[in-house]
Amino acid sequence: MPFANSANLYLYCITIWINTAKNHLCRCLLTNWIGLCLILLLLPTSGCAPPHAPLGDYQIRYHADLAERWLVNNLNKSNLFNYAYYANQDRYSSNNNAIRQLMSSRVLASMVQTKKAYLPDHERNLSHLMAAWYREEGDLAYVWFKNQSKLGANALLLRTLVASPFFDLYTDQANKLARGILSLASPEGELRAFYRTSRSDYDEERLLKFYSGEALLALLEYATAVDDQNWIREAQRIQEFYLQQYVTNIRENYYPAYVPWHTLSLHQLFLITNDVRYPKAVFILTDRLLTMMDTDLFPGRFYNDATPEFGSPHAASDGVYTEGLLYALELAHLAGDERRVQRYRAAARLALENLYSLQFQRHNIAGFSQPERALGGIRSRHNSSSIRIDSVQHTLDALHKAIQLQEQLLL
């Protein structure tokens, strides 16, 4: 039976030790010694008790390590990631999606910063992307995949280059990608969803609820990497348009998918400018997002039966919403909003527990014919055995941020 905390474990041990003592004198000495140890153990440090009990670092890192190994193990011979794996059938999907591939490439690039063993995997993945998908047109560049170029894909390749230890080798390509993204912005800051496409049957407004935040985040990360105020000003111009669309006019335009991406871009802008409007906007978005968090049937899952128009429950959504929530928690701390710190922390812990429950671990893979192929993967839902790369990637981004916040004792 698991112990609720370390004090319970110590009390259990005391009982065993006392009962096994051979005589009265031994029991007295042992009891006094253990009592003194417990007093020292329970004394608050620095003169006061901590405001909350931080999450165990080992727990977050355990789940992150499992997911990282799954991601790297699924970089296949074509130097791309296996798009999806169906564990109950031991079958890989033949489908593919450029944006989900590139999100996974970016998280692999970021992993190399702390785990050099993954450098050869990142290098061959990035080399393939630049050779097969990267295109130039004068001083502009874009991603070309399945006869079209999406704003989101262009943004995510730029983010991958910025996160890469090989960024210095690709500064010209990164600059051209940034210019390509900026070419899709109107003078007012409104973006277009495609750099090039032959399609006419798409819902641009809906696509931009994903792509606009991705593009802003890419531009801001690039601006920070090259330390160029001009790029920051361009990103601010675009962000102003979407603050009006998605925050001021939230009642008319709300859709949860834009919340995490714009949370991250606004977080970045606040760190650069210290403009208090940005965290205030994040709080409006996050407070609204939390209305769809399940606290009953599947605690920590971002799905509400009352709003089916926001999509079916999926681990990829849970992962990216959790990541956004963690950035909002950090902003609440920086803004000195203790009420939101407490609320967002409690919600983030629930959200992380939900992600843990979706991960294939040793105890729940024994029934598969190839259990090692599932180990560490994030299943799409609790009743599913399918693993999609963006579910793993979004979960990893959330876990990596959780590790940062845990180190700051914010989580």
The pLDDT value recorded for residue 67 is 98
- Dihedral angle over CA of 234, 236, 242, 248, nearest 10: -150
The pLDDT value recorded for residue 5 is 44
Average pLDDT over residues 1-23: 43
**Contact indicator for 349, 55 with CB cutoff of 8 Å:** yes
Tell whether the model's pLDDT for residue 358 goes beyond 60. yes
- What's the chain's Rg over C-alpha atoms? 24
The pLDDT value recorded for residue 381 is 97
136/101 Cα distance (integer angstroms): 20
The pLDDT value recorded for residue 51 is 47
Tell whether the model's pLDDT for residue 226 goes beyond 50. yes
The pLDDT value recorded for residue 17 is 42
The structural architecture, per CATH, of the domain 97-253 is Alpha/alpha barrel (1.50)
226/177 Cα distance (integer angstroms): 14
Q: Which residue has the higher pLDDT, 389 or 56?
A: 389
Q: What is the mean pLDDT of the chain?
A: 90
The pLDDT value recorded for residue 55 is 66
Q: Which residue has the higher pLDDT, 274 or 19?
A: 274
| Tokens 């074509």 sit on residue | 78
**Contact indicator for 393, 104 with CB cutoff of 8 Å:** yes
Residue 50's pLDDT band (cuts 50, 70, 90): very low
**Integer CA distances (angstroms), 374 to 100, 144, 228, 370, 377, in order:** 19, 31, 43, 7, 6
Instruction: Give the bridge partners for 9, in sequence order.
Output: none
Report the 3 state secondary structure along the chain: CCCCCHHHHHHHHHHHHHHHCCCHHHHHHHHHHHHHHHHHHHCCHHHCCCCCCCCCHHHHHHHHHHHHHHHHHCECCCCCECCEEECCCCEECCCCCHHHHHHHHHHHHHHCCCCHHHHHHHHHHHHHHHHHCEEEECCEEEECECCEEEHHHHHHHHHHHHHCCCHHHHHHHHHHHHHHHHCCECCCCCECCEEECCCCCCCHHHHHHHHHHHHHHHHHHHHHHHCCHHHHHHHHHHHHHHHHHHHHCHHHHCCCCHHHHHHHHHHHHHHHHCCCHHHHHHHHHHHHHHHHECCCCCCCCECCCCCHHHCCCCHHHHHHHHHHHHHHHHHHHHCCCHHHHHHHHHHHHHHHHHHHHHECCHHHCCCCCCHHHHCCCEECCCCCCEEEHHHHHHHHHHHHHHHHHHHCCCC
The pLDDT value recorded for residue 53 is 60
Average pLDDT over residues 227-252: 98
As given in the structure block, the two tokens for residue 248 are: 């001021």
The pLDDT value recorded for residue 374 is 98
Tell whether the model's pLDDT for residue 208 goes beyond 70. yes
Average pLDDT over residues 79-101: 98
**Integer CA distances (angstroms), 12 to 35, 39, 297, in order:** 13, 16, 33
Tell whether the model's pLDDT for residue 20 goes beyond 70. no
Average pLDDT over residues 12-39: 45
Tell whether the model's pLDDT for residue 271 goes beyond 90. yes
- For the entire predicted model, the pTM comes to 0.87
Average pLDDT over residues 163-173: 98
The pLDDT value recorded for residue 36 is 44
Tell whether the model's pLDDT for residue 198 goes beyond 70. yes
As given in the structure block, the two tokens for residue 190 are: 């409104």
The pLDDT value recorded for residue 160 is 98
Q: Which amino acid is at 133?
A: W
Tell whether the model's pLDDT for residue 12 goes beyond 90. no
Average pLDDT over residues 136-147: 98
Percentage of the chain exceeding pLDDT 70: 86
The pLDDT value recorded for residue 54 is 62
The pLDDT value recorded for residue 58 is 84
